[in-house]
Each structure stands twice: as structure tokens, then as C-alpha cells.
Amino acid sequence: MTEVLFIGLSLSSILLLIALGLAITYGAMGVINMAHGDMVMIGAYVTVMTQIWLDLNFLFAIPIAFVLTALIGLVIERLVVRRLYGRLLDTLLATWGISILLQQAIRLEFGLSFFGIKIEGLGPGLQNVSVPSMLQGTVSFAGADLNAYRVFIIGVTIILAFLTWVTLYRTSFGVKVRAIIRNPQMASACGIDVKRTNALTFALGSGLAGVAGVMMSGFKTVFPDMGNTLVVDGFMVVVTGGIGSMFGTIMSSGLLGEINAMVALFSNDIIARAVVFAVVIAVIILRPNGLFSFKGR
């Protein structure tokens, strides 16, 4: 049972990393970013490319992925999302289009495949990442042998969740973000640069998704379409916990991750995913604002 709970906790950690960025961007900006899952995909490919082209340890990919995906997120916000505020469906379609473009860019190796140029690590094929030897094997805890890499994922998630909490609740930037979440018009009237804050918020959310991609690359095959289902998982966590509530995002990711692990233990992964969807639907019906929300969807 300890192993099952541990697996559920590691799944919850990945869900939390993906959902944290969605929680703050959706909560502050009201933007449904369908390209968020592709930031995870890019983070995974950064890990692949870091090992192939830079010959650097897996751990170096974490800051590189965060910076790169944050910059991509900033560009997307400046060029596309900023022009569509208040137009929810238009934003959804635009970011969906960006998602397709990003996937095709990886699949076609940024168009170079048309000229017969091959970039190792990219393309439509599957890629694998080697985990450092110190993260391989098992760690003994409470009489159970736990996967060392999953322990590492949980540790990284705890650190990033804490840093995100500090950013949102102990810095002036966080005060601005929370003010925008509550009332963007009033925040603007009080002198807050809403556009600049939204851009940095979008970049932060994208950067966190990039780190999630690095974590996922260690135990999942990397391919261009891997972000398609992840964005759905992230939104499930956000709507279950409540928009704009970091505590709700943390609790709902833990709840859904453990439900998935427990049901999978007694049945299979397909039924486990169906049960998770059923729980999310029940929460939406019974508590439309989410479990820990102060703002309606």
C-alpha cells in the first residue's frame, strides 16, 4: 500500500507542476491556454537536446527548460494572447493553433526536414532520456523500496511549489497578480500595469510547465504530441481545486493523483482515468466554483 500511495504522490507532483502554471494564468488572465501542454513537451525535448548536443547532465536541463519555455510563453502572450483578452473562445482557438504549430515544428525539425537536413533529437520519432545514476534504483522508506527518481520528482515539486507560493504571497509581484485575479479593472485603476503583470505571469506558468516536461522525460517517452492530454489533466486539476487558489490546486492534484493510483491498483489505467473524470464532473456539478475557490469560472 505504501508503494501505491507513493506512486499516487509522484503522479500528483507531475499534475501539480502542470496545473500550477494554468492556475495562475487562467485565474489572473482568464485565458484558456491550449498550448500549455506543449510547453511540457518543449521542456521534455530540451532535456533530450541538452544531453545530445550539450552533453550535460539531466539536472542542467531544469533551469534551461524553465528559461526557454518562459521566453516562449512571453512571446506567445505578447504576440497573440494580449490581443485577445476578454475573447475566451478566440483565445482558446488561437492557442490551439499555436499548439499545432509547435508540434509540427518539432515533427518537421523546424522545416529543415524539407531540405534533407536532420536534427538529432527532433523529428516524428520517439526519444528517450537517460536518468543520472544517482537517481536510479530505489530508496528504502517505512519498509518499502521507493523509486529514487520518483522521490526526486516529489522533492523538485515541493521546492517549486514553495517558490511559487513565495512569489505569489511574499512579493510585490504576487500582490499584483492576486489583485488582478480578484478584480483586474480595480487593479488597473490602482496603478498596476496589468499587461506587464499578465505577460510575466504567462511566462512563469510556461516555465513551470517546462520543468514538468523535464521531470516527465525521465520516465516517459518523448514525442511531439505528448502535450495533448497533459493540458486536459492540468485543467481538470484547476477546475477541481478552484480558479486562482494555489491551495486548491495543490489539494486537487493530490486527490486526483491518489485516486488514479488506487483505482489502477484494483483495475487498470483506463478505468482509473474514467473514475478521475467522473470525480471531476461530480465536483463541477456539486461545487461549480471548485473545492477551494474564491472566484467563479
In tens, the pLDDT along 170-182 reads: 999 989 988 887 7
Tell me if 274 is assigned to some domain: no
Tell me if 290 is assigned to some domain: no
pLDDT at 296: 45
Domains: count for the chain: 1
Quick one: pLDDT band at residue 297, thresholds 50, 70, 90? very low
pLDDT at 269: 80
Examine the pLDDT at 115 and tell me if it is beyond 80.
yes
CB 91 within 8 A of CB 84: yes
Half-sphere exposure of 218 toward its Cβ, with a 13 Å CA cutoff? 24
Q: Closest Cα to residue 37, out of 170, 216, 189?
A: 216
Tell me if 12 is assigned to some domain: yes
pLDDT at 294: 55
Examine the pLDDT at 49 and tell me if it is beyond 60.
yes
Tell me if 211 is assigned to some domain: yes
- CA dist., res. 65 & res. 207, Å (int): 7
Tell me if 243 is assigned to some domain: no
Tell me if 85 is assigned to some domain: yes
Tell me if 71 is assigned to some domain: yes
Look up residue 295 and give its DSSP letter: S
- CA dist., res. 246 & res. 26, Å (int): 12
pLDDT at 281: 92
CB 40 within 8 A of CB 18: yes
- CA dist., res. 134 & res. 116, Å (int): 39
What's the domain range around 215? 2-112+139-223
Lowest model confidence (mean pLDDT) among 37-51, 102-116, 178-192, 273-287: 178-192
Tell me if 277 is assigned to some domain: no
Strands (E), 116-201: 138-141, 144-147
Q: Name the more confident of 75 and 9.
A: 75
pTM of the model as a whole: 0.90
